Structure 1
Amino acid sequence: MDNQNRNMLLALVLCAGVLGVWYTLFPLPEQSPAVAEDVAAEQTLDAPVANSATPGVAAVPTEVVADTPRVPIESPELSGSINLMGGRLDDLYLTDYRVSVEEDSDTIHLLRPSGSNDAYFASFGWSANQGVAADAVPGPDTMWELEEGETLSPDSPVTIKWDNGAGLTFRNTYTVDDKFMITIDQSVVNNGDADATVAPYGLIRRYTEPDDLEGFFVLHEGLIRMADGSLDQIKYKDIADETAADRTTVTESGWIGYTDHYWMTTLIPDQTRPFEAISRYFGTNDVYEADAIMPSETVAAGGETTVSTRFFAGAKEWETIRAYQNDGGIVNFINTIDWGWFFFLTKPIFWLLHNIHALIGNMGWSIIVLTFVLKALVLPLSYKSYVSMAKMKELQPEMEKLKERMGDDRAGLQQGMMKLYRDNKVNPASGCLPMLLQIPIFFSLYKVIFVTLELRHAPWIGWINDLSAPDPSSILNLFGLLPWAAPEPTSFLAIISLGILPILLGISMWLQQKLNPAPADPSQKMIFAWMPWIFMFMLGNFASGLVLYWITNNTITFVQQYGIMRSHGHKPDVLGNMFGGLRKNKADATK
């Protein structure tokens, strides 16, 4: 195989590798796999069954219509209603959060009643046990009656009641704080002549995967469960793959629920008592369920018992969640935010970003300041890498001459390069370790910027009014100068509809690349030359906050590397090299 064919093959392999990594990290959306028909047929919806190996079998619940009896909810952060059917929390809005940045945009509708395609609700009831009939306890379809209170608010609890007509009276008392926590006190009074054994439970049901599922490897979306200090994160796809319920016994300190990018629902039983945390998927109905089943309670004749469960439904605000952990005794609740593998880095980095934002008041400038701070902290590591690159860059002309002399003599070229490094006391690998040590730090910064709620709908300057959304400007209308709108993000033209920030990202990557030693192989050199512009298009539809971080990081890296190169006697002429290269290419083309 001649050099030209070998180089072309290498170029194709490298390009395929880039595409393979890209589609691994950013896969196309896929449909949830179906559960085996024989299993799905058995997993019909019903109330959880205490101390049972398989779910109970019952008919699909009657769908809730719009005029079901309800109790209003009004608090500083939440609004909606409690459905008296099943005592469900199935109508909940986050009053401080909107779907888009538009002033007339709808409020986030977190929980929705059964009957809608994206139903999502919580219900609290009791499972029968030891001689108590299944219809003698309230379940997800029980019609409760309002006993006390008119509107659930921080100053006004609400109590609903259900009497089974056989001596047992059940009550659910709801209280809400000024944020996102609702407490449900479940009580039962035994007015009968015999003891009754029942088990309280809470459940969350979600019909189908959420429409706005991002499916991005950096972010966990799906079930989240804490059991005795151990955190489990299970994606929707993996839940649907299971052919049986996933049951975990929690001795103390646990919770279970579902997490999205910015929102979350979580069942939090008494942190000092055991319970069973269950995840299951009903393939027939395409329903994901999380259960918290508390131990059975034996209520003596003439006695009563009460069990308290908290239910978080709201935004994943760091300060709020941390307060529930530190002041509310919810163990490891801060881990409902997806800190990732490098949590020991992401947590302090987020703390720093949060406090910078508190001082500056603008998230865009806060990202820039944070990137400066981190780049300053890792400068001692960066310095060795940049010095190594400077020495390699100085040797570039001599290496080119060596390649011309050696021609196709690969062995001679290799020996000559090693001698050149030895004579000039250059170690090509000396800059690798410091660079590798920095990767976890900047990946953690990237993750913090991606997962943080503070970025959502946060403006920066001018046209950037939402740092969690792509740059809205477009080169196709000359950034607003021409009288037509930019293509929609879902349009085919969106891939070439570059905004100002993605273009600056491409330029910053190109400038940084010009300071690095060029690959010896012509094919590799060509691929690396195109990389900044390829990534400019690939990353063009990423969140503006992430692109801003990359631009800042690339710019700081360029300035640091440029300064260190000059301090070691090498004076890189980036623009001169570019125009010189263009002139050389033009001259070669005219020959």
Structure 2
Amino acid sequence: MDTKRLIVFIALSFGILYFWQQYMEKQYPQIKKPAVASSVASASGVAASAVANTTAAPEAGRLAKGQRISVTTDLLQAVIDTNGADLREVKLLKHGDTKDPKKPFTLLQDEGEHIYVAQTGLLGDGLPTHKDQFTSAQTSYQLANGQNELAVRLETVTTAGVKVAKIYTFKRDQYVVDVKYEIVNGSTAPVTASAYYRLIRDGKVENPGMFGTHTFTGPAVYTDEGKFQKVDFTKITKGEAKYVPSAKDGWIAMVQHYFASGWIFSPIEGASVCTPNACRYEMKALPDNMFAVSATIDLPVIAAGQKAEKSVGLYVGPQETKRLKAVAKDFDLVKDYGMFKIFSQPLFAVLQFIHSFVGNWGWSIILVTLLLKAAFFPLASASYRSMAKMRQLAPRMEALKQRHGEDRVKFQQAVMEMYKTEKVNPLGGCLPMLVQIPVFIAFYWMLLAAVELRQAPWQFWIHDLSLPDPFYILPLLMAVSMYVQSTLSPPPPDPMQAKMMKWMPLAFSVFFFFFPAGLVLYWVVNNVLSIAQQYVITKKVEKEIQQAKNS
């Protein structure tokens, strides 16, 4: 098996994977309107009340609306609705829209074809849920220059005289919003209450990858006991969702490509809000292809005339590794590197470290490629020496073919004897390609998952390293580099195979027309370095053989 046969194998593998994905999508299409999944109530009366209240209508795409409160910070443009005092809309000012990068990316929204909101409510006799009306002193808030925090207060009073305030605190350069309940018991009886926090999203799944690959979209729960547990929408619909139902720590999230939201109950800084009682977690399907992930927390009994407070952080933003790590333990797991995480995650760590000095993701990719070539230099050198020796044996191989004619068994025996005599490993030329395969796949998944490279420019015509080259210049350069590299490799003994291999670089480059520009940039630089290395080694081996003949 030589390098060119390995390339054919890779191309066929990609093709098979693509058609398999197409077949599976036809066999198991996404369900448009799943039925409501049954929920399991907790043994306690308060928990049962939580389940009953949080599953009540309206739950789907037609959310009730009240007065809109707009909030603008340095990173976010948010909308809070007085109906439930819910966070209904969030635009990320530092991240461009997919279709129009000049507009901010919309993560949360409560109208249109895409529904995705963050809700909270209180459970107890007469306490406000996500369906009750709140009031606000202002309809517009903006984080001023030099101001580090911005508090938005919404209030309501129950018929029994219990005053409830929900306070959103936005902070400069933060995607974590502090959501605090302030409950003042103005009644004559003690108040027993629970608070629930949930994320509601439609079941639409993006498919940004090539050959059917895509990052995870759906809800997730993290606890120290169960660790990171993500659940597909289809499993929730079928009642097959498996996760730890309660714990004294953790967080819940709704994950999609590049972005995520999450209620944080065990922040990096501060104690878990689930103690002394456990947070109760739940995932369920709702009408109109909607899904919810939620957590319920029991609050201490509030005596008459007393006040209680409960604060929970809400992350709404991009899956930037540094920010995710600062939010909660293992919150960076929402960044989906797929099955090749073992390669992609450390590769991105190195890339991010280099970017901290270079300041450009394109040049960082080039420098990472140089480091990888340096790391595998000894292995590649040994392989290229083997290929150079095989190239010198090409005339003798042709002579053996002529001598044995159609007797392929004797021809193969003679070739293997020649390799043994000349101490040449026929599989040695495959090693550089075998080494590149996991790195190539790791680069692909890294670029697919890394929001840091989304809409990140390199130079010249490349304005987004996460998208294909708009003018296909890099794929064409890759085809040229592959052709040049093939001329340095030993020719196949089979004329038909040799003819096919001449067209292989062009055929293989077609795949790269649709790959992210950052990935093709890596491959082009890698090929150029390989050509230089292979050329030098080939000339050196030729010189050594010539000197051996002359001596």
| Both structures adopt the same fold (TM-score exceeding 0.5) | yes
Out of 349, 353, 356, the residue aligned to residue 354 of structure 2 is 356
Match of 1:488 in 2: none
Q: Is the 8 A contact 1:239 1:281 kept in 2?
A: no
Q: Is the 8 A contact 1:72 1:80 kept in 2?
A: yes
Q: Is the 8 A contact 1:382 1:435 kept in 2?
A: no
Q: Does 1:125 align with 2:121?
A: yes
Question: How far did residue 419 of structure 1 move?
Answer: 0.9
Q: How does 1:262-341 map to 2 (within 5 A)?
A: 262-271=258-267, 272=272, 273=274, 274-282=278-286, 284-295=287-298, 297-322=300-325, 324-325=326-327, 330-341=328-339
Change (3 A) 1:240 1:401: farther
Match of 2:549 in 1: none
Larger mean Cα displacement after TM superposition, 395-404 or 428-437: 428-437
Q: Does 1:137 align with 2:131?
A: no
Match of 2:523 in 1: 550
Question: How far did residue 182 of structure 1 move?
Answer: 0.4
Out of 128, 140, 154, the residue aligned to residue 160 of structure 1 is 154
Distance in structure 2 (CA, Å) of the matches to 1:15 and 1:318: 32
Q: Does 1:232 align with 2:234?
A: no
Task: Report the 3-state secondary structure (helix = DSSP H, G, I; strand = E; otherwise coil) of the residue aligned with 1:50.
Answer: helix
Task: Report the 3-state secondary structure (helix = DSSP H, G, I; strand = E; otherwise coil) of the residue aligned with 1:510.
Answer: helix
Distance in structure 2 (CA, Å) of the matches to 1:449 and 1:550: 13
Question: How far did residue 192 of structure 1 move?
Answer: 4.2
Please report the TM-score for the alignment, with normalisation by the length of structure 2: 0.81
Q: How does 1:12-27 map to 2 (within 5 A)?
A: 19-24=15-20
Number of residue pairs matched by the alignment: 514
Distance in structure 1 (CA, Å) of the matches to 2:63 and 2:453: 36
Q: Is the 8 A contact 1:371 1:553 kept in 2?
A: yes
Equivalent AA in structure 2 for residue 220 of structure 1: F
Equivalent AA in structure 1 for residue 416 of structure 2: M
Question: How far did residue 435 of structure 1 move?
Answer: 5.5
Distance in structure 2 (CA, Å) of the matches to 1:53 and 1:433: 59
Change (3 A) 1:529 1:140: farther
Change (3 A) 1:210 1:338: closer
Distance in structure 1 (CA, Å) of the matches to 2:298 and 2:397: 75
Match of 1:478 in 2: none
Task: Give percent identity, aligned residues only.
Answer: 29
Q: How does 1:141-290 map to 2 (within 5 A)?
A: 141-146=131-136, 151=141, 153=143, 154-178=148-172, 179-209=174-204, 214=209, 217=213, 219-228=215-224, 230-236=227-233, 238-239=234-235, 242-243=238-239, 246-249=242-245, 251-271=247-267, 272=272, 273=274, 274-282=278-286, 284-290=287-293
Task: Report the 3-state secondary structure (helix = DSSP H, G, I; strand = E; otherwise coil) of the residue aligned with 2:442.
Answer: helix
Question: How far did residue 502 of structure 1 move?
Answer: 1.6
Equivalent AA in structure 1 for residue 399 of structure 2: K
Larger mean Cα displacement after TM superposition, 217-226 or 363-372: 217-226
Deviations 1:415-473 (A, max 9, x none): 21221111111222456567545543443334333332232222222222222222222
Please report the TM-score for the alignment, with normalisation by the length of structure 1: 0.76
Out of 419, 423, 426, the residue aligned to residue 425 of structure 1 is 423
Deviations 1:541-589 (A, max 9, x none): 2222221111111221222222222222279xxxxxxxxxxxxxxxxxx
Task: Report the 3-state secondary structure (helix = DSSP H, G, I; strand = E; otherwise coil) of the residue aligned with 1:156.
Answer: strand
Task: Report the 3-state secondary structure (helix = DSSP H, G, I; strand = E; otherwise coil) of the residue aligned with 2:244.
Answer: strand
Distance in structure 1 (CA, Å) of the matches to 2:490 and 2:285: 54
- Tell me which of the two structures has the higher relative contact order, counting C-alpha pairs closer than 8 angstroms and 6 or more residues apart: 2
Aligned-residue CA RMSD in angstroms?
A: 3.6
Question: How far did residue 333 of structure 1 move?
Answer: 2.3
Q: Which ranges in structure 1 are unaligned for 5 or more consecutive residues? A: 1-11, 44-48, 474-498, 572-591
Equivalent AA in structure 1 for residue 324 of structure 2: I
Deviations 1:69-114 (A, max 9, x none): 12221211001221111221111111122226978x322122112x
Match of 1:401 in 2: 399
Question: How far did residue 142 of structure 1 move?
Answer: 1.7
Equivalent AA in structure 1 for residue 290 of structure 2: V
Task: Report the 3-state secondary structure (helix = DSSP H, G, I; strand = E; otherwise coil) of the residue aligned with 1:294.
Answer: strand
Change (3 A) 1:211 1:505: same
Task: Report the 3-state secondary structure (helix = DSSP H, G, I; strand = E; otherwise coil) of the residue aligned with 2:513.
Answer: coil
Match of 1:490 in 2: none
Equivalent AA in structure 1 for residue 74 of structure 2: P
